Amino acid sequence: MADEEFTITGLSSSYAFLLMVVNNKPGVQPKEIGQQMQLTPSTITRLIEKLEQKKLVERKTNGRTTEVYPTDKGLQLEPKIKEAWMNLFHRYTELLGKEEGEKLTSNIYDAVKILI
C-alpha cells in the first residue's frame, strides 16, 4: 500500500521516508537516519547514494563526520511526500476504521520515539 501511494513522489516509501528525515533535519548524520529507520549502515549508505544520484540529497564531510543535506529539488518533493502519507493514512483508515487507523498511527509514532 505504501509504495503504491508514494508513486506520486517518484520514490519508494523507504526513499521518501529517508528524504523526509533529511528535509526535516538538514545536516543529519547517516547513523541517526539508520536509527530512525531501523536499517543497517550499509543500507542507509545505499539509499543515500541513490538519492544523491537523483540530486535530492548531498553529503558533506564535517571533520570526521558525514552530514546529509537536502537539495532544493529534495525540498520541493516535501509536499508530495506529505500528500502520500495522508493518502496512505486515509487508505488504511478506510480498511481498519477511523478509531483503529488513528490508534495504529499513534502506536507507530510512539514506537519510533522509543526506538530513536
Give the pLDDT of residue 105.
Answer: 80
Whole-prediction pTM = 0.85
pLDDT at position 36 is: 87
- At 115 the pLDDT is 62
pLDDT, averaged per 10 consecutive residues of the chain (116 residues), comes to 91 94 96 91 96 98 95 97 92 88 80 66
Helix (H) or strand (E) holding 27: none
CATH fold of 2-115: Arc Repressor Mutant, subunit A (1.10.10)
Alpha carbon distance 101, 72 (integer Å): 33
Report d(CA 49, CA 32) in Å as an integer: 16
CA distances, 46 to each of 33, 41, 87, 92, 107 (Å) = 12, 9, 27, 29, 29
